[in-house]
Amino acid sequence: MLKLSVLDQSVAVSGRSEDASIRETLALAQHCEALGYHRFWVSEHHSHPSIVGSAPEVLMAAIAATTQRIRVGSAGVMLPHYSALKVAEQFRVLEALAPGRIDLGVGRAPGSDMRTARLLSSDPNQAAENFPLQVRELQSWVSGIDLPEGHAGQGVSANPTGPTSPELWMLGSSSYGAQLAAHYGLPYAFAHFITDGQGAAQAIDLYRQMYRPSPRHPAPQAVICVWALAADTEAQAWHYFSGRERWKIDRSKGALGPLPSPAEVAARPYSAAEQIEVDQLRAAALVGSAPQVADKLRALAHTLQLDELVVITWTHDPEARRRSYELLAGEFF
């Protein structure tokens, strides 16, 4: 049976303060657990006008404390900003709070502009080139396996330890993350919603072909994070999608801001050139009634030979977003 999970980015929306987006993420996690979703992941972005989830480890603690069953994770921690040991300690604490339910997804992208990225790091020489070594260190500290002799961290532990440990995931939107996940024997999540699906099949195939079994993961485990929106009718779904649609058109021109409402979108008619982009977006979008979107998701999972999809949904109205997840749950669970 195909499993469904959730990625939420705490999106800023017009007309409401950014702090409300964080509380809406927390409420959505509780809602999705009640619906039967497998995981609930949150992202990390910094100084971003549209996405205000800046500290996934803090938000995860709140989610873990107010849920009982659903797995809670990061998608992800942007590891080059931080010490691998400190990240391991944070997620070991989360694991102690919610044993057997914590996912630690990591990526090497800054999640911000480069000026902000430099300000985030206490070491100005910290570079993405060190990412593979950081992943190796994190894998050891999270699992409780000592680092090799000669490593500066040999003999250092990430506390608190316990009978369970966080599950480490590699995130990516290119072949780089796929190869690194395969090399270290880690589960891999491809950001389908970032690339609009481009490169997904190639990255997942490469991951499976190059996979080196690890003690915790003897076989490859891949998912994709995919954008989808369902509503009670197809017309309603396209109505709610209009904010995301306008946001993507504006982003392509370098303009970022809160997600606009459908009313705000309607007040800004598209130019002829923008309408061409809109038509292309709509042709590829996983938007519609619940049966329509479910069929598209099943087809995508079948094509990529996946048994789990992670769904991300943006709407200006939080009730429409909750309803979308509710409708998809009715199709799959």
- What is the tens place of the pLDDT at every residue in 133-153? 999 999 999 998 878 777 888
Would you say 75 and 167 are in contact if contact means Cβ atoms under 8 Å apart?
no
Say how far apart CA 191 and CA 178 lie, in whole Å: 11
CB burial class (10 A; 0-12, 13-18, 19+) of residue 272? Answer: exposed
Q: pTM for the whole thing? A: 0.95
CB burial class (10 A; 0-12, 13-18, 19+) of residue 78? Answer: buried
Say how far apart CA 84 and CA 65 lie, in whole Å: 24
Topology of 3-332 in CATH? TIM Barrel (3.20.20)
Q: Which residues contact 207 (CB under 8 A, 6 or more apart)?
A: 178, 179, 181, 182, 188, 220, 222
At 93, the amino acid letter reads V
**The predicted structure's pLDDT at residue 123:** 67
**Where along the chain do its domains lie?**
3-332
Say how far apart CA 151 and CA 174 lie, in whole Å: 30
pLDDT-flagged residues of the chain (< 70)? 111, 122-128
